[in-house]
Structure 1
Amino acid sequence: MKRKKITIFRTFNVLLSFLLVFSTFGSTTPLLADSADQPASVIEWDEELQEIDGFGGSFAFHKGGSIMRLDDPVRTQILDLLFSQEKGIGISIVRNMVGDGGIDDWGNEDYDGPSETIMPNPGEYVWDDPDWNKDEFDKYQIWIMNEAKKRGVETFLSTVWSPPAWMKQNNSVIDNGEGPNKLREDMYQQFAEYLADYVKGYKEHFDIDITHVSPANEPDLNTGYSSNVWTPDELNTFVRDYMGPTFEDRDIGTNIVLGEAMRFSEEYALPAINDPKTNKYVDVVAAHAYTGLQEGETTPDPDAFKRSNELGKTIWQTEYMNQGDNKQTFENNTITDGLRYANLIGNMFEVSGTNAYFWWWPAANNGADGSDLIRLVNDGSDQGIDPTENGLYRVFKRFYTFGNYSRFIQPGYVMLEANNPADDVKVTAYKDSATDNFTIVAVNNSVEDQTITFDLDNFPEDVNAVVPYRTSASENLKKLDSVNVNDNNFTMELRGSSVTSFIPEQFELPALPDMKDVFSTYLAAENDGQTSGLRVDNNKNGDKVITNVRDGSYIKYSNVNFADGSASGEADKRGILSMKAKVAPIAGGTIEVRLDDPYNGKIVGTMDVPRNGNPNDPITVSTMIDTNSTDGAYGFHDLYLVFTTENNSNRKMFNVSKFEFSDEVISPIEE
């Protein structure tokens, strides 16, 4: 269902509001004056926009193997984090690669391609070979699809990076410099048959329903890895005269996805959807998001899919990530990055009428953090034939803000009209008409907390409370206390720089397993345990701080994931981790950073707080963290911040507000 015009009912409301305001002229009691200054988002149950098909990610280039090679319980943890709605973020679409059988872009001749092809030579299907090893064929992609199926995934998109080499003008799946990197025109029908046989073969031999097929990944990109260049008109010809009719004649019910170019626009599908003969075959118009974004890469061009929306086409954004060396930084793993994607997803749905949003690799072992929502740590190797995972993993803030959408908005939900209550607050809303479940996602881009009222216009009458799940600098999809709904309204203070998802209390989901990380801020007042005597007070700025700090007192944070001890995934910063604390000195002292035990745990860093400071004048102290793999900040640990002094133990030492990790080198690292 696509966007509708404003209803007569809504127009009447606007007129009524005008009349009410007009009627107050000369009155000593203006109507509704008590709420005039209250920021409010009105969410309209009956104003339906597009249907949401889901949230996806790719496991092309053997990335499912990165998970498959892990030992349990880590392997199951990662799978649940990705695909389970109860235990993770509920990814609902898996995007894979239609195998081409060629060598990889690192020149490994003995490497069996990015994925095995079903037809390595003309007329030779692998399953017709009596020596075919079914268990080894495309095993990583088939395994990850089956694991996703176990956790409720029903939508599988297979995309072609390149047809097999023997179908192409340059006899290669890559740009080898020996001719055009294109499909031969005399192979168009053979390629259409190939895709139909791919769909039928995966169902027959692996019991996997490929629900969507795309004939071209990034047809505008000519590369040293699997690729094939198309023009928009060539794609139109192929789908109109070959792929569409072949799928129709052979009763292939799989949806055809078209476009998937680098730019977030309909350009590469436009000739096809404008051609009445082709348009009936194009089920999804797709694009990637590497170019074509505006306003800090969070707001798409409103006209990017103008014709697609006019025709009522389904629109998918099928690939994006933090691409480029400048994005492989510590900050691009924190809430700063998480907010960027939360805004981008909401804007794509609202501005472009997008129906599905995909990340590139949800979890993988690779050489850069920017490609993943979860990075599986390796032993130091980069991408290659047989990377070695070590069972550690790093979960980035974007995983959680992506999950603020994907966990709570499942396939079949419909987007609703909702206004943004303030310039720096983004609100989108979605409902499941079959159950009356709904999700509201609110992104507060301000560093300041903001109190917002949510007006649930014509929502079901049995909504008595909503449950918020918040991602912020200090929280990872944290389940908060329910908020009462009165007269179809509720009010919530949105934490600064946060993403909050609200769902009805009767549909609440469990809290995710408690897991902290080095990308979060640790608020002293929101710890997991502290010694008696410590107090929480407000400083002069109204921030909560821990006070009454004495010798031997401590605060605790449970289950901190240090992974390999790196704050940044850059190769030259492997194992580099520092920590800083915001404190207000009084008598001064030392902050010991200990692991697992406040008294006997390994000290992995110390921060000296000077004496005779001003308790209302905070400063920053810092230390490098010992991240050695034997007994350092490596893997999961409980974290204790222990406060000590050699001075009079009865004196108050300092006030402390927060702790943060960084990849900054504070001082030379001791060997």
Structure 2
Amino acid sequence: MKNFSKIVAGLLVTTLLTGTAFSNELVAKAAVPNKITMNWNQQYQEIDGFGVSQACDVYGDQIYGFPQRDTIMDLLFSNDKGIGLSMLRCEVGNGLNMPTIEPQDGVWVYERPVSELWVINEAKKRGIDKIFSTVWSPPAWMKTTGKITNGGYLKKDCYRKFAEYLAEYVSAYKRLYDIDIYAVSIANEPEYAAMWQSCLWKPENFTEFLQNHLAPVFAEKNIPAKVIVGEKGEWSEAMVVNALNNPASCSRLDIVGGHQYSGSISPLTTAISKGKRTWETEVSDTGIYKNDIKDGVAWAERIHRFMSDASANAFMYWLGASYKTNNESLIRLYQDGTYVSAKRLYTMGNFSKFVKPGYVRIGINNNPVKGVYFSAYKNPLTGEFVVIAVNNTDTNHLFDLSLDGCTAGSLTQTISNDKENLTRYEDIISENGTFQLSLGGYSVVTFTGTNGSIRPEQRVWTITDELNDWKYIYSATPEWMLEGNDPYGGFEADPSRARRTAKSEQSLTYCFKNIRDFEAQIYFYKQFVGMKLYASIDGETWNPVGYEASRPKITGGYWEKTTIRPQGILQAGTNYLKIEFDLGDQEWDKHLAKISFDCDGVFVPTIHDSLNDWSKTDSHSVNWMLDADNAQSMEGDSSRARRTSASKEFITYKAGENKTFDTFCAKLYYFRGANSPIRFYSSIDGVNYTEITAQYSGSVDTGSYWRRMYAKASNLNCKYIKVEFDGGGLYPWDKQLGDMWINEL
């Protein structure tokens, strides 16, 4: 291996170790993350769960007869294979589609549909926490109209019979089928005389029924089920305020339910003031079928609002799976036996898979930026906690999350976006007690952690190039620039990245001693194509390097981010790594954002002349000066040698006593690509000089029309080295010598 590699790597690593800071206009544009805080001790409502209706009407039959029914049940109710719903809404059958247990007064029929029992038991197998049942209509014989459909009221003389009917429903399911009915809901949308199963109630009817009939019957028969009242089509407690304000009926009312086909999402204040749980028990969309991420994120925002704005204890989507051709279900079934999961299934899963019954909502800045929403929850028994972020914008947003009242070393992130469904990504590690959260455009991200967890040890890299300047780049092909633009926050406020300026093959080369490993962060637009890596021992013979790319993470505006690592171990003695960008639809389609190296690092040259003074030179011609102007365009170099007239000028270096020069490396700057040459000569006696055939690296753009390159030579065996600036050029200052590294033997 040529000795030059020892020199040039030394110049690059020495810059790092001496702590030189380089200012750059691009750095000043870096966005400051918004600051948010999770407050462990600021407690709100307890969560009862998330769920769907499935064992009701014809929908139990639809899933029971579906060829992939086990897969569908997994998607809905399994925490390992799906979204882990914890609640299942069933129907208290009335004789239309779902049989009633009392088809005639005093006649009891306990045989249940096999499809209903299958759905309930399969949900139980998958860990469902609560099964509750809603009455769409009492049996026809109990109603004023004698019909199940189109409304009608419960007959006054059937109030006690209806109470006994509900009690027997709960008892029979436990006695005959070992199914615990957690709660029964008296009426579905009691204000609406629907053409399907329906029954009308007035607020005062609820009060009378609860106080004088249901309460004594449930007490006599020792019925453990809780009672849900309300379930109005609008999110409102108007139907139950009368009962809540009556102490006797209020004591028999446990949960106020509501749908949300209209009405604002706000707290049911009377219910909450009386200590009642509030459940959103049905909502969906009957419009044209949607299955895109914007729909999914919109539903996540709605769930967030129920949890944070309304302080609801539970949220239920209308249907889990069905053959419906609109948006009434989370999973659409097809007659050919196939299915499609809507994005809203997975964005709902960002809540249901992680926030389990018994968790308590805790404090966090819930709407720190327009279109971005946070909620947080904790398990009081285990110390586990969950932060859910909904980004309903097309822009990436950054947040610094701090924890108040608890500590954690890392957070696990699970993301649903346009390409991913509840995909786990690499953990986020705390930095001085703070976590930087990056939320890609139109995404829902769940962050989970444990109070008291320890910060895991992190990989320590020898050198990291943030690509804020060119100081670590050994060589580059001509068409490169440092990009600071950040549309849609797609670069996560990274102030500077390297990217091509031409849609052709372009490369960057690094040179460090004994490169053992590396890791690079790449941003790409829409698709990641056309990147290759090469390694070399001597900078002349190159071998391809296979690499692994992490699962891409959507940031914003069609940009994605991936992390590159080598496959296997690099060849021993590797001193050079080349990164090549090729292909793609645009020259800006790939950006190198950061690269870190594990290497031996420092090669120390015998002589390093930074041209801050003339002390390390032997002599120089008259027309020279040390220039400190425009350092920001020359990588922060605050002193370089340059001519004072457009004439041929020289600088010479002399080896020490009984020493000779072996190698050198010179850092050169040119204005507007000026090509009037800088030449190098060697001499034994200081009189007779021979031109050195130097090897030049590719040049890189350092700003304001300046470019930088390196010149190197080895095996010189000379006493003197002369650096000569040729006559002519655009200006006297159009060529400058920034640094000179020389090895003596």
Alignment equivalent of 1:70, drawn from 44, 48, 66: 66
The one-letter code of the counterpart of 1:67 is: I
The one-letter code of the counterpart of 1:364 is: S
The one-letter code of the counterpart of 1:372 is: S
Alignment equivalent of 2:441, drawn from 491, 496, 518: 496
Displacement of 1:546:
4.0
Displacement of 1:348:
1.0
| 8 Å contact from structure 1 (residues 464, 484) kept in 2 | yes
Report the number of matched residues: 450
* Cα 1:614/1:150, change in 2 over 3 Å: closer
Aligned counterpart, 2:57: 61
SS at match of 1:352: coil
| 8 Å contact from structure 2 (residues 383, 450) kept in 1 | no
Displacement of 1:614:
8.3
Q: Deviations over 1:47-68 (max 9, x none)?
A: 1100000001102213122222
Alignment equivalent of 2:231, drawn from 260, 272, 290: 260
Aligned counterpart, 2:578: none
| 8 Å contact from structure 1 (residues 100, 116) kept in 2 | yes
Alignment equivalent of 2:360, drawn from 397, 407, 414: 414
The one-letter code of the counterpart of 2:230 is: G
| 8 Å contact from structure 2 (residues 256, 278) kept in 1 | yes
* Cα 1:437/1:535, change in 2 over 3 Å: farther
CA distance in 1, matches of 2:90, 2:71: 21
Aligned counterpart, 1:377: 334
Q: Deviations over 1:614-671 (max 9, x none)?
A: 84699xxxxxxxxxxxxxxxxxxxxxxxxxxxxxxxxxxxxxxxxxxxxxxxxxxxxx
Alignment equivalent of 1:141, drawn from 116, 127, 130: 116
Displacement of 1:488:
3.2
* Cα 1:243/1:142, change in 2 over 3 Å: same
Aligned counterpart, 1:182: 153
* Structure whose residues are more often helix by fraction: 1
Q: Deviations over 1:544-570 (max 9, x none)?
A: 6545499xxxxxxxxxxxxxxxxxxxx
| 8 Å contact from structure 1 (residues 536, 547) kept in 2 | no
The one-letter code of the counterpart of 1:193 is: E
* Cα 1:505/1:241, change in 2 over 3 Å: closer
Alignment equivalent of 1:319, drawn from 262, 270, 282: 282
Displacement of 1:489:
1.8
Displacement of 1:307:
1.1
| 8 Å contact from structure 1 (residues 62, 140) kept in 2 | no
* Cα 1:488/1:241, change in 2 over 3 Å: farther
Q: Deviations over 1:544-599 (max 9, x none)?
A: 6545499xxxxxxxxxxxxxxxxxxxxxxxxxxxxxxx99xxxxxxxxxxxxxxxx
Determine whether 1:238 maps to 2:209.
Answer: yes
| 8 Å contact from structure 1 (residues 534, 546) kept in 2 | no
Aligned counterpart, 2:148: 173
Determine whether 1:52 maps to 2:15.
Answer: no
| 8 Å contact from structure 1 (residues 421, 452) kept in 2 | no
* Cα 1:496/1:536, change in 2 over 3 Å: farther
Displacement of 1:423:
2.2
Identity across the alignment (%) = 34
Alignment of 1:472-487 (within 5 A): 472-487=417-432
SS at match of 1:500: strand
Alignment of 1:268-283 (within 5 A): 268-283=239-254
* Cα 1:45/1:507, change in 2 over 3 Å: closer
* Cα 1:353/1:256, change in 2 over 3 Å: same
* Cα 1:466/1:54, change in 2 over 3 Å: same
Aligned counterpart, 1:21: none
Alignment equivalent of 2:383, drawn from 436, 450, 466: 436
Displacement of 1:77:
1.5
| 8 Å contact from structure 2 (residues 364, 375) kept in 1 | yes
The one-letter code of the counterpart of 2:345 is: F
| 8 Å contact from structure 2 (residues 385, 450) kept in 1 | no
Q: Deviations over 1:455-500 (max 9, x none)?
A: 12122x4x22111111111211111111112343211211011100
Displacement of 1:283:
0.6
Alignment equivalent of 1:125, drawn from 108, 113, 116: 108
* Structure whose residues are more often strand by fraction: 2
Determine whether 1:115 maps to 2:98.
Answer: yes
Larger radius of gyration: 2
CA distance in 2, matches of 1:391, 1:536: 51
Unaligned runs of 5+ in 1: 1-34, 102-112, 128-133, 294-299, 379-389, 509-522, 524-532, 551-581, 584-612, 619-671
* Cα 1:355/1:614, change in 2 over 3 Å: closer
SS at match of 2:377: strand
CA distance in 1, matches of 2:427, 2:315: 28
The one-letter code of the counterpart of 1:452 is: F
CA distance in 1, matches of 2:322, 2:585: 48
* Cα 1:273/1:617, change in 2 over 3 Å: same
| 8 Å contact from structure 2 (residues 409, 452) kept in 1 | no
Q: Deviations over 1:31-88 (max 9, x none)?
A: xxxx9943022110111100000001102213122222233xx222111111111111
The one-letter code of the counterpart of 1:482 is: D
The one-letter code of the counterpart of 1:361 is: L
Aligned counterpart, 1:307: 270
Normalised to the residue count of structure 1, the TM-score between the two structures is: 0.63
Q: Deviations over 1:508-558 (max 9, x none)?
A: 9xxxxxxxxxxxxxx9xxxxxxxxx999999xx9746545499xxxxxxxx
SS at match of 2:218: helix
The one-letter code of the counterpart of 1:236 is: T
| 8 Å contact from structure 1 (residues 467, 505) kept in 2 | no
Displacement of 1:292:
0.5
The one-letter code of the counterpart of 1:70 is: F
Alignment equivalent of 1:401, drawn from 339, 344, 347: 347
| 8 Å contact from structure 1 (residues 167, 187) kept in 2 | yes
The one-letter code of the counterpart of 1:422 is: V
Alignment of 1:608-623 (within 5 A): 615=586
| 8 Å contact from structure 1 (residues 162, 173) kept in 2 | yes
Unaligned runs of 5+ in 2: 1-29, 454-489, 491-503, 509-519, 533-557, 560-583, 590-745
| 8 Å contact from structure 1 (residues 437, 507) kept in 2 | no
* Cα 1:84/1:356, change in 2 over 3 Å: same
Alignment of 1:440-479 (within 5 A): 440-459=387-406, 461=407, 463-479=408-424
* Cα 1:255/1:536, change in 2 over 3 Å: farther
| 8 Å contact from structure 2 (residues 294, 392) kept in 1 | no
Q: Deviations over 1:148-175 (max 9, x none)?
A: 1111113111100000001111111012
| 8 Å contact from structure 2 (residues 384, 450) kept in 1 | no
* Cα 1:287/1:534, change in 2 over 3 Å: farther
CA distance in 2, matches of 1:222, 1:507: 54
CA distance in 1, matches of 2:401, 2:311: 23
CA distance in 1, matches of 2:271, 2:332: 35
CA distance in 2, matches of 1:411, 1:125: 35
CA distance in 2, matches of 1:466, 1:549: 31
Aligned counterpart, 2:596: none
* Cα 1:505/1:46, change in 2 over 3 Å: closer
Range moving further from structure 2, 44-53 or 141-150: 141-150
The one-letter code of the counterpart of 2:62 is: S
| 8 Å contact from structure 2 (residues 322, 332) kept in 1 | yes
Displacement of 1:430:
0.4
Aligned counterpart, 1:80: 74
